[in-house]
Amino acid sequence: MSRRAVLTTVGAVPVAAAAGTLLGATGASAAPATINVSAQRQTIKGYGAMAHAAWIGDLTASQRETAFGTGEGRLGFSILRIPVGESSADFGRDLATAKRAVELGVTVFASPWNPPASMIETFTRGSQTNAKRLRYSSYAAYAQHLNDFTTYMRNNGVPLYSISVQNEPDYAHDWTWWTTTEMVRFLKENAGSISTRVMAPESFQYVKSMSDPILNDAAALANVDIIGAHLYGTSYSNFPYPLFKQKGAGKELWMTEVYYPNSNANSGDAWPEALDVGEHIHRAMVDAEFQAYVWWYLRRSYGPMREDGQISKRGAMMAHFARFVRPGYTRIDATANPASNVYVSAYRGGDTVVIVAVNKNTSSVSQQFTLSGATASGSVSNWLTDASRTVAPQNALTMSNGSLTVTLPARSIMTFVTSVNGTTPPTTPPPTTPTPTPTVTPPAGGTGPRVAYTMNSWGTGFTASIDITNTGTSAINGWTLAFTLPSGQSITSGWGATYSPSSGQVSARNVDYNATIAPGATINVGFQATTSGSTAEPTAFTLNGVACTVV
């Protein structure tokens, strides 16, 4: 079955059903949408798409700037997905695009479709007599293959953020099948040797029976950093993942491939169908609480970039998020559905607040936004996409005493960006069990923790995302991460830790909700900073006085 067939048979939400009852031709008023700038949810890693030179050709130099630049007329993508070559001869196919992406501050990760041919055996799976799977005797060699690709990319200027075990192991008619038992076994026995973050299982339809066994197996989970999922035909009712919230502490949750609602030729500019993409992203962020949203082919007639390199209407939906909700921002509480067919989400990075509003109604809607937890007055930048405009900057609006009322045009998406002051510290939902009183202890066994530092810069500012992994065999109860910021860099705000001082030799100390780092667990902290021009990164980190391994 093609994915298009799957979309029509396994639970895709029909456009008419998803749209609900539309308002009439006259405008209407929605209930106020409250934005709580202090109620922090997931940390956003970014938005992006797949490049696959072997199948559809590489992006041109100009198209790379359109994809990863953040200015007007750009998509603002901060994530790039590339394939893992099946042999070392294929490793460099997507290197040029990946290198330019990294130079522009983009996070790059990779997914394999097949292991090297020498590691594959065929078997009969139902009516498929030539199904492929990885030989168990080749598990260690396959882990080394993933490491070899990681090393090749790193040595050529592309430090992979993560690598996946397998693309769509449960929809592998044309590539390699994996059962949940095989996936868990590989993760337990072999994934620990991989030198970057590990992603699994990338189920084609967010099938929880593929990822539940990973979350329920402590040894397998310890060797996974990111639960990856695809959303082909996944109904909105299946977006939430309670088991991940229960057992995924310290792990990330990414949506790593989709096209929506179809892959019809030239549907990238279909209107108002493109608004379905806007709602889909909204629900992926709000209902599913994904940290990343990654489209299938970046340049395609049904994708965010048309074959001529211009941004499509579907691309505009993504740009309304990607250009303004930058890596390291956090989603904050907002009234998600203040009126029928109106969808609102909000994000915060330091003192910047971003609101994205989708109006799928056939008439305009008067929408009030009210900020709580901060003082906000002043100019509000805003951008609009509707039938005739594409991420078009609009005249600045004015927020007064934390309140802004706007007219959302019929069938449109708008992004609003403003600054707040007098903010209260972000809050995080309390853990389900009381956090023990922290005691500062070094990692067990003298094993240094692992730190990954990801920097995304622009002009005179940048955000830094820091992943701290406990590589020891016992919990770390209370921690202080120490590092030296290069000259000219100064922290203005942060999340997940308290930072002091703002420059020079910095100490980042845990907050209540992340004081304990379980063995094998990873937590994420970070900060926003200004710079006089230096984009250098700290070269060394210590956690509770123990030198860290920097990846």
Partners of 382 in the beta sheet?
416
Which is the catalytic residue, given 86, 168, 202, 279? 168
Dist CA 538 CA 547 (whole Å): 13
Beta strands in 165-209 (DSSP E): 176-177, 197-203
Q: Which helix (H) or strand (E) holds 542?
A: strand 541-543
DSSP-based three-state secondary structure for 86: coil
Dist CA 4 CA 315 (whole Å): 20
> Got the DSSP string for 172-236?
-TTSEE--HHHHHHHHHHTGGG-SSEEEEEEETT--HHHHHHHHT-HHHHHT-SEEEEE-TT--G
User: Is 168 a catalytic site residue?
Assistant: yes
Which is the catalytic residue, given 86, 202, 257, 279? 257
Sheet holding 505-510: strands in order across?
Answer: 497-500, 505-510, 480-484, 541-543, 546-547
DSSP 150: H
- Cβ(436)–Cβ(399) under 8 Å? no
Peptide bond into 261 cis (omega under 30): yes
Angle between helical axes of 139-155 and 180-189 (0-180°, round to 10): 70
Dist CA 304 CA 312 (whole Å): 5
DSSP-based three-state secondary structure for 199: strand
Q: How far is CA 343 from the centre of its chain?
A: 20
| Region of 11 on the Ramachandran plot (φ > 0 left; ψ -120 to 50 alpha; else beta) | left
Q: How many residues does the chain have?
A: 551
> Got the DSSP string for 283-294?
HHHHTS--SEEE
| Residues annotated as part of the active site | 168, 257
